[in-house]
Structure formats: structure tokens, C-alpha cells
Amino acid sequence: MKYSNVFIESFGYELAPNIVTSTDLEKKLAPFFKKMGFGPGQIEGLTGIKERRYWDKDHTLAEHAAIAGQRALDEAEVSPDQIGALVYCGVGQDGFEPATSCSVADQLNIGNDAHIYDVKSACLGVITGIVNIANEIELGNIQAGLVVSCETSRQIVESTINEINTHKSLEFYKEAIATMTGGSGAAAVLLTNGTIGNP
């Protein structure tokens, strides 16, 4: 669909507070690195990543998605009651039910009439959410919609490190190295029909 009445009004984000360097990960991989005879700098050399971030252990995805969403709303001077739809697009979720978007909407005080739902589309989640909201705006169903996402990488990275140290195989390491590229953060994209928010 070609859009003529849809505008990206603002963005919001939050970075996870705990910095974990590739050197930190290599220290945890010491048993495997020793067996393979690897020197330091392997992970950064293979991934190009010096550091990634982790949330605190007691976090929820919804709380950080809501912070990013609030920042997008504040930036555009759009109020929660003007949001006609909120879509949570993260791979991770806080539980099976209810949808994580419900908690985000509650924290942001999004109105009861808004469409509130989760979209699962792996790495394409946010763009899928943007297309969903853009379609709703273009069709005149809503004036504004908020797409939010939050991801966490601590659990999968730590689990993968344990597996690498257990298997101690170069083949498994090659298959698992992409996991070391993951990080934690939250983002939001606010779309409008151009009639509300900052001029």
C-alpha cells in the first residue's frame, strides 16, 4: 500500500543498564577457549561487537517497552488518549497470557478503546507493527498508533555459553557464535496521520 496520510512522528528508546564486553563473555568461555587454544579477542574479531547490554535480572519487557513508548509520546507531545492502537512487537514476552501489549498499554494509560495486541515476526516484528499501524491510519480507523518492542539477551547468551563449554566442539561454536551478537534494549515508533502532535 502506498501511504499518503501516515507520518513517523517520533521515536523513543531505552538502553539496558548493564554493559557486557566481548572480553567478559570470553572469560566465561575460558574452558572452551583453553581446549581450542584460542587467544583473546575471538568474539570481537568474529562479530565486530565490543559490548552489548543486559537488563537487570528482575526486569520485565513491558516496563522498558513502556519507557520507550512514553519517550516517543513526550517527544511528539501526543497524549495516551490519542493513541488508537498499540502493538508490542518483541520476540520475548513477559508470559504466555495476557499479551505483553496489555501491560505496556496499562503503564502508559492508553485508552480502553485502543486496539492493543502483540505481533510476533522475529527480527521483522517492529516493521510488521509499523505496517499494521500505518494501514489503520491510512484507512482512517485511527489517528495515531504506537509500536513498541523490548528484547533481552542475557538468558540466551548465558545458556549458549554453558552449551559451548559443555560440548567443547568447534562445530557447535561456529553454529552458536551468532548468539553472541545479541543485546538488550527497548524501542518505540509513534505514527500519526499528521493532524496531532508537534507541527
Q: Which residues carry out catalysis?
A: 97, 123
At 2 the pLDDT is 87
Is 25 inside any structural domain? yes
Structural domain includes residue 40: yes
List the domain range (segments joined by +) for residue 33. 8-192
- Is residue 3 a part of any domain in this protein? no
* pLDDT tens by residue, 83-133: 999 999 999 888 888 999 999 999 999 999 999 999 998 889 999 999 999
Q: Is residue 2 part of a domain?
A: no
Reply yes or no on whether the pLDDT at 178 is more than 70.
yes
- Tally of structural domains, the chain: 1
**Using one digit for the tens of pLDDT, what is the confidence trace for 16-25?**
999 999 999 9
Residue 121's alpha-carbon distances to 89, 126, 130, 192, in angstroms, are 7, 8, 12, 23
- The verdict on residue 62 lying in a domain is yes
Residue 53 lies in a domain: yes
- For residue 197, is it within any domain? no
Residue 199 has pLDDT above 80, yes or no: no
Q: What is the pLDDT of residues 40-66, one digit of tens each?
A: 999 999 999 999 999 999 999 999 999
What pLDDT, on the 0 to 100 scale, is given for residue 123?
86
Give the chain's mean pLDDT.
94
20 Cβ contact list (under 8 Å, min separation 6): 51, 52, 53, 54, 157
Could you read off the pLDDT of 129-169 as tens digits, one per residue? 999 999 999 999 999 999 999 999 999 999 999 999 998 88
* CATH number (domain holding residue 180): 3.40.47.10
pTM metric for this prediction: 0.91
pLDDT of residue 117: 97
- Cβ neighbours of residue 72 under 8 Å, at least 6 residues apart? 9, 10, 11, 12, 146, 188, 189, 190
